Structure 1
Amino acid sequence: MSSPRKLISSHSPFEAQIGYSRAVVQGDMIFVSGCTGYDYKTGLISPDVVDQAEQTFQNIAAALAEAGAEMKDVVRVRYILPDRKDFESTWPVLQKWLGDVRPAATMIQAGLMEEVMKIEVEVTAKVEK
């Protein structure tokens, strides 16, 4: 018998508008949707890619915590940036959050939903039960 699916919400307006969850817990796996640098409490986003990266990881950490996981449980990460030249400037933030975890990773250059968004990050985590 499979375990029930648990849906995690950040209450971002995008979730209701588009029809998705911030994260989905299925068994021992947690799939966190692409997160951007919006501060969900204020609805604001910094114009700086490094600030956005930091806020993005705060958003991911909050989703993981609600799912009963931590950053140490991340096994896969995808970075999406509209401008690949911005990626290197985010490395200190990535190192801070995932340096000891060292998940499998991919960086993709692609347009994001809004022009102000400079980075989007998606993670998959696995928790031991």
Structure 2
Amino acid sequence: MAMKRIYSDQVSEPQAETWSNCKVAGDFIQIAGCVSGYENDVIAGGDDVYEQARITFTKIKNLVEAAGGVMDDLIKVTIFVTDITRREEVWKARREFFTGDFPCSTLVEVSALARPGLAVEVEAHGFLGSSK
């Protein structure tokens, strides 16, 4: 089974030779930890945890769709937050992207993410076409 890197015009790619945002092997889709983004040290979504989560789930949706799937094809998400007391804001955003049975989910509080100010990072795994 061949592995294929997935690109979306809606999601910026990491620097060369660092990581891939999304790869597919057969029907299995793996999405690396996504964050809302940053440019010139400005965090997309600012200090708003809900907005950072919404932007992050939108990026995941764009990658899943670029691979030919839908969000309900995801079977597991892992959510990393820097302040677990704000988890309801993350869950509010998550509810906007899934229907029916939600994917399995793990929520982990971490001391920091890749850049100061980032509050949410999400990685996802699934099987394309599995929600049909």
TM-score bin, normalised by smaller chain: 0.7 to 0.9
> Paired residue for 1:6?
4
Give 1:57-96 correspondences, 5 Å limit: 57-96=57-96
User: Would you say how many aligned residue pairs link Structure 1 and Structure 2?
Assistant: 123
Q: In the alignment, residue 56 of structure 1 is paired with which amino acid?
A: T
Aligned partners of 2:72 and 2:103 also within 8 Å: no
Are 2:123 and 1:125 equivalent residues in the alignment?
no
SS class of match (1:97): coil
What is the CA–CA distance in structure 2 between the aligned matches of 1:109 and 1:44, rounded to whole Å? 19
Are 2:59 and 1:53 equivalent residues in the alignment?
no
Aligned partners of 1:39 and 1:55 also within 8 Å: no
- Judged with a 3 Å threshold, the aligned counterparts in structure 2 of structure 1 residues 128 and 90 are, in CA distance, closer, same or farther, namely closer
Deviation at 1:18, TM superposition (A): 6.0
Unaligned runs of 5+ in 1: none
What is the CA–CA distance in structure 2 between the aligned matches of 1:52 and 1:96, rounded to whole Å? 13
Q: What do residues 34-84 of structure 1 show as CA deviations (whole Å, max 9, x unaligned)?
A: 1111279xx851211111111001100111111111101010000000111
> Paired residue for 1:23?
22
**Identity of counterpart residues, as a percentage?**
24
Deviation at 1:115, TM superposition (A): 1.2
Deviation at 1:95, TM superposition (A): 1.4
Aligned partners of 1:28 and 1:128 also within 8 Å: yes
Q: What do residues 107-128 of structure 1 show as CA deviations (whole Å, max 9, x unaligned)?
A: 0111201111110011111024
What RMSD in Å do the two structures reach over aligned CA positions? 2.1
When the two structures are superposed, what TM-score results if normalisation uses the length of structure 1?
0.85
SS class of match (2:20): coil
> Paired residue for 1:116?
117
- Judged with a 3 Å threshold, the aligned counterparts in structure 2 of structure 1 residues 17 and 127 are, in CA distance, closer, same or farther, namely closer
Q: In the alignment, residue 3 of structure 2 is paired with which amino acid?
A: R
Unaligned runs of 5+ in 2: none
Aligned partners of 2:50 and 2:93 also within 8 Å: yes
- Judged with a 3 Å threshold, the aligned counterparts in structure 2 of structure 1 residues 66 and 78 are, in CA distance, closer, same or farther, namely same
Q: Which has the higher helix share?
A: 1
